[in-house]
Structure 1
Amino acid sequence: MDRSRARHVRMLASLTAAALATALLGGCSDSGSGSSATKATTQAAAARKDASDVQSDYQRVIKDVLPSVVQIDAADSLGSGIVFDDKGHIVTNAHVVGEEKAFKVTAATGEQALTAKLVSSYPEQDLAVIKLDEPPSGLKAAKFGDSSKVEVGQLVLAMGSPLGLSSSVTQGIVSATGRTVSEGRAGGGTGATIGNMVQTSAAINPGNSGGALVNMDSEVVGIPTLAATDPEMGDSAAPGIGFAIPASMVKTIADQIVKDGKVTDSGRAALGITGRTVLGGDDYRAAGVAVVDVVSGGAADKAGIKAGDIITKLGDTTITTITSLSEALAADQPGQQVQVGYSRDGSGKTAEVTLGEM
């Protein structure tokens, strides 16, 4: 073979090797693209499965709990309730029952309305118990969970009859715990100050009151009671900010009403006074709570606080209004010792007070 032909053969060999290398590299690239596509497909399938699992969980919880949620019709209000036991006791909000003594109750199963009567109402915690006159067979009591185990971020469902739409369900998360909230009296509210409430993003609308806030274990963790309002929007409801009375408090109060016909141990701290907000300074701003009356033998009386004194501090909390005093007390416990700051005849004083019970 002459030199020219040899160089030509070597050149072809080199070109063939280069082409082969390119093909091999191209094959690697194609393989990677295929792998990415497969991975994306796998991830999409996993996402669909996760969504399907969540949907199945929602449907399971709704099937478990909704039969225990009822609609309550009073003369001037419409709300929801939860079947408390198989004897026909139903727990709801005090503002749902109002001043009424008799009610019509419709189960989520859509059966004919049943009649019920008030057992007792406890407006201080906005809770009440009514009882069906003739409990139907197979009445399913709800399962109440431990509200101390409720955590921010947990998925929850709110079940009730918002705007009269019975057996409605909304979903959200637990947005916060340990909230102290004061109700207004407008629209039939009790004016109660309630501690340790569960805040949720699940929609709470008129008619949801007294219904069930439920976790994914089909346990009632609270009773939806009110939605936050936005003063800048004419006190219209603030979307996604609702509050529920914790299940542990619901059970404590309902158990007493079922057993004794009334609340015998509220678990709520009290000073044992009647007070009113006072204004002070040139700007006439709220400046404390004037003691109008003192319960004889109560916590304030034992500590030497008298009518005419102006309470300005409870523990580390500055007190400016009767609402702020109620909210501070809602965070405390009966028997707890707190320092109360007050003024008498313009002189500042303090007293160590052992809180009583509401």
Structure 2
Amino acid sequence: MNHQFSKSAIKYAWLPFFVLLTLMLAACGAAETAVANPVTQAIHTLTEEAEPETTILEEAAPIVETAVAAPPVAPTTDLFTQEQQFVSIYEQVNPAVVNIVIGSGQGSGFLIDGNGHIVTNNHVVENGGQIVVNFEDGRRLPAAVVGTDPASDLAVIQVDANEIRDIPPVQLADSDALKVGQIVIAIGSPFGLQNSMTTGIISALDRLFPGAVGPNGVPFQIPNIIQTDAAINPGNSGGPLLNLNGEVIGVNTAIESPVRGSSGIGYAVPANIVSNIVPQIIENGRVETPWLGIRGGIISEDAATALGLPANQTGILISEVINGGSAAAAGLRGGNNPDVIIGVDDVEIVEFDDLLGYLVQQTVVGQTIQLQIMRDGQPQTVNVTLAARPAAG
């Protein structure tokens, strides 16, 4: 038999047996370390080859003790666990995710209940036309629009419930509990490629995103938007953004890209807005959204000082009170001597998104809320009865 020996084997052939045994044990410890961290092992191996023999002999014993005392867990175990989690989520949720074809366009959606209601984006169905819903098992069902809400870019369509009794609907998560860095999963039909799955993380929270244009030409803002780097492309609109429990945390709605393809910035309407808006659409075919009727922004240090407030004062400075709105009826002030909103129902308000998010997710038309404000340098509480926001144009 023709045997080949490595240079290292020849190099140590003269060593006594116990030294060889020590080196073998040290190599075992290094092998375990390699499993734990291949990059560290590669660097460590280069270091060992560059160091003198005496250094290796001196360090061999401590390495063996460390490896035996606390053997590291192989990273592949965690990778396979995560991989299986992705597989399980896809198998669990994908049957309820649909491809929506309407006219010459298409998008995505998901089954929200056992009555055949499917959530999607308003912009998927707004142009009208015959709707066909494609399920992952090949079922093709006609659907009708139940109702839409252009202001939140949400819509509900419906298929015959008797045709999908065996498909479990999705579950909604509490989107207020989300954290930046959480792993997320998107399922949909990018470019018409049905049942595609991508993964990423939550890149940012509480983005404001322009919705439909109001009667004054200014777009209504959708609050609490989720930003993700999961690949979102045309056709993903209306599909679910999921957490690792397979729960819907948002509805994939838009991307920011100069090439109309994924550039790592996708946006999703949060689940808590869905849970507020969708029941209204199902019940009434439309949505009445509470409206203050103000324009404003975060108060600056200069503005705070000019109003006799601490320079570090937080809140929303009202720049304009719109005639006919709830704020005007309650006597709130804008202009040269404006009020500063610092809370609503004792919930602190720092950014405009805080205020808008509270109104959209926590209130209904006709409800009376308490605004905590700073007026003439003093804290006050003003009761405001919320009117319906004007219809979007």
TM-score by length of 2: 0.64
CA offset digits 1:121-180 (Å, max 9, x no partner): 111111111111464142331111222222222221101111111111111112222222
| 1:77 maps to which of 91, 105, 115 | 105
Aligned to 1:272: 293
| Residue type of the alignment partner of 2:292 | L
Separation of aligned partners in 2, 1:304 and 1:246: 30
Q: Distance in 2 between matches of 1:119 and 1:340?
A: 43
Tell me: CA distance 1:294–1:237, structure 2 relative to 1, closer, same or farther (3 Å). Answer: farther
1:289 is displaced (CA, Å) by: 6.8
Q: Tell me by how many angstroms 1:36 deviates.
A: 1.7
Alignment check: 8 A CA contact 1:83 1:141 kept: yes
Residue 129 (structure 1) aligned with residue 156 (structure 2) = yes
Q: Which residue of 1 aligns with 2:53?
A: none
**Number of equivalences:** 301
* Distance in 1 between residues matched to 2:104 and 2:135, nearest whole Å: 20
Q: 1:313 to 1:176 in 2, by over 3 A?
A: farther
User: Residue 115 of structure 1: which of 137, 142, 149 is its match?
Assistant: 142
Question: Percent identity over the alignment?
Answer: 32
- Partner of 1:294, secondary structure, is coil
Query: Higher strand fraction: Structure 1 or Structure 2?
Result: 1
Is the alpha carbon distance of 1:148 and 1:290 closer, same or farther for their aligned partners in structure 2, counting shifts above 3 Å? closer
Instruction: Look up the SS of the partner of 2:128 in the other structure.
Output: coil
Aligned to 2:85: 57
Could you say which residue in structure 1 is the equivalent of 2:256?
228
Residue 263 of structure 2 corresponds to which residue in structure 1?
239
Matched position secondary structure for 1:170: strand
Paired amino acid for 2:163: P
User: In structure 1, what is the equivalent of residue 192 of structure 2?
Assistant: 164
Shift of 1:84: 1.0
Instruction: Please tell me whether Structure 1 or Structure 2 has the larger radius of gyration of its CA atoms.
Output: 1
Q: CA deviation at 1:60?
A: 0.6
Mapped contact 1:115–1:134 kept (Cα < 8 A):
no
Task: Tell me how far apart the structure 1 counterparts of residues 199 and 102 of structure 2 sit (CA, whole Å).
Answer: 27
Alignment match of 1:261 (pick from 254, 265, 285): 285
Instruction: Kindly provide the CA deviation profile for residues 5-40 of structure 1, in whole angstroms up to 9, marking residues without a partner as x.
Output: xxxxxxxxxxxxxxx996544542332123322443
Q: 1:315 to 1:164 in 2, by over 3 A?
A: same
Alignment-derived partner of residue 89 in structure 1: 117
Structure-1 residue corresponding to 2:371: 337
Using the alignment, how far apart are the partners of 2:87 and 2:154 within structure 1? 29
Structure 1 residue identity aligned to 2:22:
C
Q: Distance between the aligned counterparts of 1:191 and 1:100, measured in 2?
A: 22
RMSD value over aligned CA atoms? Answer: 3.9
- Aligned 8 A contact 1:64 1:218 in 2: yes
Change in Cα spacing, 1:292 to 1:168, as seen in structure 2 (3 Å) is same
